[in-house]
Amino acid sequence: MTEVKYDVLGIGNAIVDVLSFSDDKFIDDFGLRKGTMILIDEERADVLYKNMGPAAEVSGGSAANTLAGIASLGGTAAFIGKVRNDQLGNIFTHDMRATGVRYSTPPATEGKATARCLIFVTPDAQRTMNTYIGACSTLDDSDVVEEEIAASAITYIEGYMWYEPSTKDAIRKAMRLAKKHGRKVAFTPSDVFCIENHHQEFLDLIQDCDLVFANEEEVKTLYKKDTFEEAAEAIRGICDIAVITRSEKGSVIVTAQETIAVPAAPVAKVVDTTGAGDLYAAGFMYGLQRGWGLKECAELGGKCAAKIIQHMGARTLKPLSDLVEAA
């Protein structure tokens, strides 16, 4: 069997986040759906960008944030995602490699520009995301390298990637290769918006996964249940481990045999919830790869999420390794 080089390999959107503080009036005036993510075209992205306030640009993308978190904790990670050979593409490539994440997907040399996500953060710390996918949609199965999948203990898929036939083919190939080499597959549906658009396909995908990350609203939407308790029972046994985050209520781990509730880590002040789920997944998978118990994995995930929501954006300049030392 191929030697494991990476704790986690993620397949996701290679996006540069553009973050700005906003207010509810702006959200209403531009007809945005607060607290969710929607896909937009390049023209709409230009309109929103011209009207948003002062902004900060930082490389993002759900799976990419998770991998950066794993590297910050002291783990090893690799990323598959597509950019264009333009300014934002160069920024994304530099930022990923600077975090210590292996990133070798060749950039597109023509066609759509590098993706960007316009994130409006309201005073209640909710983030409303408007994403222009751009070059991400050109990823295909040729970008999935068997040697990288074989060398990764977990292949982590973000639901945001499930939109084009070519990206779906890439994900299916990665999942087949992971199974072929006896590796785990993890999946996150990413957002209620994604579930509503790909409901049955996501239900089918989850049955082939070892590990699923979802928040409370996502799992309720997946199984069309009114309560959290009903949704948790519906997902029980579908995959080996279902991890359900519940914001200030903490998280719940559901397996065929048990349910483990873990309280949220304390937070002094919530500034921006962008990346909370991404960093939770980083902490959880980091612990899992080191043989920790599920409760301990969830506790580290919660600490990572608590850390990231106390500042703007989904990346931290300070290493997260101190959270491991304190665990």
What is the per-residue pLDDT for 327? 64
Q: Is 214 helix (H, G, I), strand (E, B) or coil?
A: strand
Distance of alpha carbon 268 from alpha carbon 141, whole angstroms: 44
Distance of alpha carbon 302 from alpha carbon 263, whole angstroms: 8
Does a structural domain hold residue 189? Answer: yes
Residue of 116, 154, 149, 96 whose CA lies nearest to 281: 154
Does a structural domain hold residue 229? Answer: yes
What is the per-residue pLDDT for 251? 98
Which residues span the domain enclosing 191? 6-13+62-105+134-325
Does a structural domain hold residue 242? Answer: yes
- Would you give the distance in Å from CA 230 to the centre of its chain? 25
In a structure prediction context, what are the per-residue pLDDT tens digits for the chain, which is 327 residues long? Answer: 789 999 999 999 999 988 899 999 999 999 999 988 888 998 999 899 899 999 888 888 999 999 999 999 999 999 999 999 998 899 999 999 999 999 999 999 999 999 999 999 999 988 898 999 999 999 999 999 999 999 999 999 999 999 899 999 999 999 999 999 999 999 999 999 899 999 999 999 999 999 999 999 999 999 999 999 999 999 999 999 999 999 999 999 999 999 999 999 999 888 878 789 999 999 999 999 999 999 999 999 999 999 999 987 778 878 899 888 766
Residue of 43, 76, 85, 79 whose CA lies nearest to 61: 79
Distance of alpha carbon 155 from alpha carbon 170, whole angstroms: 12
Does a structural domain hold residue 250? Answer: yes
What is the per-residue pLDDT for 276? 93
Give the domain CATH number at 88.
Answer: 3.40.1190.20
Does a structural domain hold residue 259? Answer: yes
Strand partners, 56: 19
Does a structural domain hold residue 125? Answer: no
What is the per-residue pLDDT for 274? 79
Does a structural domain hold residue 23? Answer: no
Does a structural domain hold residue 38? Answer: no
Number of domains in the chain: 1
What is the per-residue pLDDT for 287? 98
pTM of the predicted structure, to 2 decimals: 0.90
Cβ-contact 277, 237 below 8 angstroms: no
- Cα dihedral sign, 134-137-142-148: positive
Q: What are phi and psi of 182, to 5 degrees?
A: 70, 30
Burial class (CB in 10 A: 0-12, 13-18, 19+), 166: middle
